Amino acid sequence: MSSLQMTSSSAAGAPPATVRRQRPRGDGATAWLFAAPATALLGIFLVLPFLMAVVLSFTNKRLISAEELGTDFVGWRNYARLLQDDAFWVALKNNFVFVAIVAPLQSAFALLLAVLVNQPLAGSRFFRTVYFMPVATTMAVVAVIWSLMYAPDGGVVNRFVGFVSFGLIAPQDWLRDPALVLYAVMVLSIWQGVGFQMLVFLAGLQAIPVDLYEAAKLDGATPWQQFRHITVPMLKNTTIFVLITTTIYAFQLYTQVQIIASSGTAAPVDSFRTVVMLMVHEGFGSGKIGHAAALSVLFFVLVLAISLIQRLLLKEERAVA
């Protein structure tokens, strides 16, 4: 065996040498310099208010109070009262019901729309724009428009349901019926937000190598088999991201339910009140800043737990890959 062959064989069997790339000394300072404005804004508008909320949650601070009364430290009393408050548990239940239905449905519709607009067909860009337009519309405008569409007399929704059911389903008072109002909010929320998730899925679809689909076609795979064995596995990370972000946004439900509640034509507020809505009511409606701060801290812990679950799922996905 020649020396060249011996060298090649020994190099093939030896592990590759680790090449360490030394970072220039000024890179760290430059990175912190560029990150300083964003870090300062996050500290002022995110970290500092949260720390203030934690402190206020242990006091009896009120929005407007007499100076002679002052503000006293009450310990865990706000949290204890919160856990005994039926309105809190009802609002939390409404949040969980909303999240459990909206997050999977909205993600599924977004994936379906992304697959449709990803096809090389004429007008696909036009439909991408149409599906994304509700996202660019503010939720306040969407809530007002859908409130008119939900009108029991002459509303578009009741007319559509009657047409589809051939008149078998009578017109419903969607916003005044306690059993229907939360589901009505779900429909308008899915319609408004599905375009954003569609774009995320569309980016994931366009990152999948076309060679995989061509090889599958040569093997005789049907479109459903291609979707099941190529598209879905390759979109795992994207799907996890969409589900978790949709869940977080769903827990922040406020604008649409507040507008419907303020319209004066809605069902009893307990049937669709959310945690954020209760927080605003306690803090600015009743003036109980300490109680509202305890609510906000619990809400933060809930969102933080969801974020940790997201990181755990993404970590496991990277380990499998």
- Three-state SS letters, the chain: CCHHHHHHHHHHHCCCCCCCCCCCCCHHHHHHHHHHHHHHHHHHHHHHHHHHHHHHCCECCECCCCCCCCCCECCCHHHHHHHCCHHHHHHHHHHHHHHHHHHHHHHHHHHHHHHHHCCCCCCHHHHHHHHHHHHHCCHHHHHHHHHHHCCCCCCHHHHHHHHHCCCCCCCCCCCCCCCCHHHHHHHHHHHHHHHHHHHHHHHHHHCCCHHHHHHHHHCCCCHHHHHHHHHHHHCHHHHHHHHHHHHHHHHCCCHHHHHHHHCCCCCCHHHCCCHHHHHHHHHHHCCEHHHHHHHHHHHHHHHHHHHHHHHHHHHHHHHHC
Model confidence at 24: pLDDT above 70: no
Predicted pLDDT at 4: 36
Reported as a single tens digit per residue, the pLDDT across 256-299 is: 888 888 876 667 777 888 889 999 888 888 888 888 999 999 88
Predicted pLDDT at 105: 93
Q: Is residue 233 a contact partner of residue 147, using CB atoms and an 8 Å limit? A: no
Model confidence at 154: pLDDT above 80: no
Name the token pair of 111: 């994936």
Predicted pLDDT at 132: 87
Predicted pLDDT at 189: 92
CA distances from 83 to 15, 201, 252, 304 (A): 59, 39, 20, 19
Model confidence at 162: pLDDT above 90: no
Between 319 and 292, whose confidence is greater? 292
Predicted pLDDT at 118: 87
Confidence band (pLDDT; 50, 70, 90) for 136? confident
Model confidence at 14: pLDDT above 70: no
Model confidence at 9: pLDDT above 50: no
Model confidence at 222: pLDDT above 60: yes
Reported as a single tens digit per residue, the pLDDT across 55-99 is: 998 988 887 765 656 778 888 888 998 888 888 899 989 999 998
pLDDT-above-70 percentage for the chain: 86
Q: Which domains does the chain have, with CATH numbers?
A: 86-320 (1.10.3720.10)
Query: What is the rounded average pLDDT for all residues in the chain?
Result: 82
Confidence band (pLDDT; 50, 70, 90) for 315? low
Predicted pLDDT at 268: 77
Model confidence at 142: pLDDT above 50: yes
Predicted pLDDT at 106: 93
Predicted pLDDT at 15: 46
pLDDT-above-90 percentage for the chain: 15
d(CA 320, CA 113): 28
Model confidence at 201: pLDDT above 90: yes
Model confidence at 46: pLDDT above 90: no
